[in-house]
Structure 1
Amino acid sequence: MPFTLVLPDGIQYVGLAFVSTIWLQIGQAVLVMSARKTAGIAYPRLYAEKAEEEASFLARKFNCTQRAHQNTLEQLPAIYTATVLSALKYPVFAASALGLWVIGRILYTSGYMTGEPQKRNTRGGFIGSLCTFALTCTGTYSIISLALAAA
């Protein structure tokens, strides 16, 4: 029995939004490498030790930059899943929300890498959380409605 996959109109925008997350990760990785070099934190250590951070603001900035990047990586599985599920019925919304999430992550990172962790939430943290929530709700609705329609 042949299988036909029909993609909804607007799915190309979801692809563009996914590509923007790759550029986000590349940008964050470059920022981490730069902060690592400036602070003098050798590989393979993930973070500066507490004593190093207390002795050097550059080490603190490195830790904050590294944490912003790591936090983005931690969120990707959930945001990708919610985006794909949302895109099944609402691809333009899914693409827009993921694109806005990326903008939020850029702002979050720029705030966090100042070395003052509380600035992560004043510069984009809320945007990312709102997009994650919206995509999770939309993805849940999309998959439930598709499942019910198939039943």
Structure 2
Amino acid sequence: MSTILVPAGFSWITLSLVSVATLLQWQALAVGKARRKAGVTYPRPYADKAEQEASNDALIFNCLQRAHQNTLENIPVIVITTLIGALRYPVSAALACGLWSFARVVYTKGYASGDPKRVDAT
């Protein structure tokens, strides 16, 4: 029978991954609220161009939806690299993951301003 040795400080990884889950939930709630406000019904993922041009609410919904989608696209890489990095440097990996989550909040708020060009690359 083999054993798994967990490095000291690995418990911080749990907290950093909870920050990722919290980020995703916060974004999902923001998208849902913006969807209702913009009147974009399911199953449409985005407001169409005419709706977006006619309504700032539709524009903000599209921006929030895209920020959330972009975060979802990056989650596999973030989780995998955090876990791999944590095998050797658990505290540093946890800090990096937590910082990424915080940066995504800033990115989402900026992108949700309705002027996504204002937020360059994160």
Which of the five TM-score ranges fits, normalised by the shorter chain? over 0.9
Q: Which residue of 2 aligns with 1:99?
A: 98
Same amino acid, percent of matched pairs: 48
Shift of residue 57, structure 1, vs aligned partner: 1.1
Tell me which amino acid in the other structure corresponds to 1:17.
Answer: S
Quote the offset at 1:120 in angstroms: 2.8
Number of aligned positions between the proteins:
122
Cα offset, 1:44, TM superposition: 1.1
| Larger RCO (CA within 8 A; separation ≥ 6) | 2
TM-score, with structure 2 as normaliser: 0.97
Map of 2:51 onto structure 1? 52
Query: What is the alpha-carbon distance in structure 1 between the residues aligned to residue 118 and residue 112 of structure 2?
Result: 9
* Residue 68 (structure 1) aligned with residue 67 (structure 2): yes
Structure 2: distance between partners of 1:23 and 1:104:
13
Deviation of 1:25 after TM superposition, in Å, equals 0.5
The structure whose Rg is larger is 1
Match in the other structure for 1:34: 33
Work out whether residues 109 and 120 of structure 1, in 8 Å CA contact, stay in contact via their aligned partners in 2: no
What is the correspondence of 1:92-131 to structure 2 with a 5 Å cutoff?
92-121=91-120, 125-126=121-122
What CA distance in whole angstroms lies between the structure 1 residues aligned with 2:23 and 2:43?
Answer: 22
Offset of residue 119 of structure 1: 2.8
Partner residue, 2:89: 90
Post-superposition CA distance 1:100-127 (Å, at most 9, x none): 0000000000000111102333xxx54x
Q: 2:42 maps to what in 1?
A: 43
1:115 maps to a residue whose letter is: G
Moved over 4 A (4+): none
Is there any run of 5+ residues in structure 1 with no aligned partner, and where?
127-151
User: What TM-score results when the alignment is normalised by the length of structure 1?
Assistant: 0.79
Q: Following the alignment from structure 2 to structure 1, what is the Cα–Cα distance between the partners of residues 17 and 117? A: 28
CA distance in 1, matches of 2:74, 2:111: 16
